[in-house]
Structure 1
Amino acid sequence: MAALAASALLLFSVDGAQAQQARTLKLGHILGSDSQLGAGAAAFADEVAKRTSGRYKIELYPNAALGGEVEAIKAVQLGTIELTFVTGAPMLNFVPDVGVFGIPFLFRDAGHAHRVFDGDIGQEYLEKFRAQDMVALAWGENGMRHITNAKRAISAPEDVKGLKLRVPQSEVMVAGFKALGADVAPLPFPELYNALQSGQFDGQENPIATILSAKFAQVQKHLTLSAHSYDPAAFLMSIDTFEDMSDEDKAAFVEAAKAGGKASRKAAADAQANGVKTLREQGLQVVTEIDRAAFAKAVAPAMPDLERKFGAAQVERIRNVQ
């Protein structure tokens, strides 16, 4: 009888220990599950489960269910949620140096951006988040950003003048579009659809994947494939949660985030390649080519301040990555 009781106690202890080891972590992002962020978050969750043998489960909260991006980053910083997968623009409110990536026409294309973020520069910027009580696990992708509006086709810089444009909560984006003569203001993404529908803004700018996922074709008439900036995304984690893990699990989370980043890139690239046709079918009139040199010249008045802010040498370092 004593032996049976001891066996039962041992079994209970083992089961209890396994139950204690299983931990659910929350991850929020602002887009739908069918978006590039949704694809990255889902891949991350799958990889975490596999790489930790089920010791960790990632619970996903899409569509800003845990708040907008600035709110989500603050929550990770405070440790009230464990993880978020956020786009690049709001990051500079916490790590100002990251704002350099939002400079208009800094990147030639997505391939150029990938080489920057996958190399030494990208790693250097990931490390900057630790000083703000967060661990940036890996870079992902929001995508190349393009302009939509309800007023007119945009094919030259002067076409932007006077348009009421929403931009993300990024002073760099505000500066760039002000230089083009737009009546520009930041607004959290979850409020954007209603703001476009009501006429508070004439237009906005986002990657094709986001324009599709958010159904902006219902409230916009024109799309310009401006590719004026590349927007990264990043998996951010509460530093306390990360530091509480074993070295093995820390490595598993980093590798899972890298896999999630690749999945978000693929989703963004697929939408870029195939989504314009869908948006045309949904009624958007599309300008496929712009004079990038003319647009870059038009935003040039904003560059001296931006180069002073981020360092002219660093801006050139990023531009010159091959």
Structure 2
Amino acid sequence: MKKVLSVLMILVFIFAGSAFAMEIKFAHVVNEKDAFQVAAVKFKELVEKRTQGALTVTIFPNAKLGDERTLLERMKMGIVDAGIITSGPIINFVPSFGVIDLPFLFRDPKHAYKVLDGGIGQKLMADLESQGWKGLAFGERGFRNLTNSKRPVNTPNDIKGLKIRVMQNPVYVDSFKALGANAVPMAWTEVLTALQQGTVDGQENPLNVIMAFKLYETQKYLSITRHAYAPAPIIMSMSTWKKLTPAQQGIVKKAAQEAAEYERAWDNRMEAGWLKELKAKGMVVATPDLKLFRKAVKPVYDQYTPKYGKGLIESIQNTK
């Protein structure tokens, strides 16, 4: 009898308030074909199942609650509860995040996951708390590649003069300036129109985004540069986090990590198919020798090493 009562007390503790379910508004800026939606749906499934409905998750895709910078600001204010955000805009609030935006920093997905799921990544997550956010897990935007409507890009010389949309992030801006581009920082919500109208010549994103948003309709040329790896932190408003019981916090954090790992695996599984389909859609695909690109962005490391520290950068690079 005592054991039964103990179990009942634990369940009451975990699911306190289940008669009055708490809704978590979970937002992202891309469409339902994107990997962010894959992560969001998995997070919703796990949280609702493991709290037996005490927490419900409502997903708001397509920037319905704002662009990424707006989502970050609204999470800070507690207007938006949670979301999956490309890491790029975070540097504007938490400067330490810029270190992971350095060009050609990560060798491959496994390298990125080892860094982000380890001590370096957890320190970055802790830095988010100064802005009123709780970092839950590192999902994935992925390795970024260059597209444009003008010409094939096989060397940095081919980039010179192209107007390339980049995230609102100084490391990305400086990286593309070093490559000779006219870097145009712009929120994602403005990009499709800018590409259609020719305001910019190109953009850089993972294959998932190029496919999901049919960028092949305005962008003829794709270069597999993999010039940067962009994580996508799953973040919760600290005010929402504090409303959860300790047990619910544990469930939410574990669900976020599992959703992130599920999304990463989905990305990796789908990537070869996306590339094949983009070729079938008529994109001209180049696979350049990246030595010249790495050489061209060396000044970016010279510029940012004093800011982030040689030791930290080398620690990331040397992670096996």
TM-score (norm 1): 0.92
The 3-state SS of whatever aligns with 1:142 is strand
- Find the residue that maps to 1:321 and give its secondary structure: coil
What displacement does 1:263 show? 2.1
1:209–1:267 CA contact under 8 A, matched in 2? no
Contact kept in structure 1, 2:18 and 2:55, CA below 8 Å: no
Letter of the 1:307 counterpart: T
* Structure 2 letter corresponding to 1:57: T
Structure 2 letter corresponding to 1:283 = G
Distance 1:18 1:139, change over 3 A: closer
Of all paired residues, the percent bearing the same amino acid is 36
The answer on whether the counterparts of 1:151 and 1:221 sit within 8 Å (CA) in structure 2 is: yes
Note the C-alpha offset of 1:17: 5.7
Instruction: Give ranges in structure 1 of 5+ residues lacking alignment.
Output: 1-15
* Equivalent residue runs for 1:162-173 within 5 Å: 162-173=161-172
CA distance in structure 1 between the partners assigned to 2:170 and 2:131 by the alignment: 19
Task: Answer with 1 or 2: which has the greater Rg.
Answer: 1
Q: Deviations over 1:152-176 (max 9, x none)?
A: 1111111111110000111100000
State the match for 1:192 in structure 2.
Answer: 191
State yes or no: 1:318 paired with 2:316. Answer: yes
Mapped partners of 2:315, 2:253: distance in 1: 26
**Any residues of structure 2 matched to 1:40-59 within 5 Å, and which?**
40-59=39-58
1:307 pairs with 2:298: no
- DSSP 3-state at the match of 2:229: strand
Deviation at 1:312, TM superposition (A): 1.6
1:90 maps to a residue whose letter is P
For the residues of structure 2 that align with 1:267 and 1:46, how far apart are their CA atoms?
Answer: 16
1:18 CA drift (Å): 4.1
Equivalent position amino acid for 1:231 in 2: A
Aligned-residue offset at 1:71 = 0.3
Question: In the alignment, what sits opposite 2:134?
Answer: 135
Q: Which residue of 2 aligns with 1:19?
A: 19
Contact residue 208 and residue 271 of structure 1 kept, 8 A:
no
The 2-side partners of 1:18 and 1:272 are apart by: 40
Secondary structure at the residue paired with 1:227?
coil
CA–CA distance in structure 2, aligned partners of residues 235 and 63 of structure 1 = 16
Distance 2:53 2:184 in 1: 44
Q: Partner letter of residue 318 of structure 2?
A: N
**Deviations 1:171-219, CA, capped at 9 Å, x for gaps:** 1000000001100111000111110110000000000001111110111
TM-score, L = length of structure 2: 0.93
In structure 2, the gaps of 5 or more residues are 1-15
1:36 corresponds to 2:21:
no
Q: Letter of the aligned partner of 1:60 in structure 2?
A: I
What secondary structure is seen at the aligned counterpart in 2 of 1:226? coil
What residue in structure 2 maps to residue 249 of structure 1? 248
Displacement of 1:290: 1.9
Counterpart for residue 158 of structure 1: 157
Matched residue of 2:56: which SS? strand
For 2:6, the equivalent position in structure 1 comes to: none
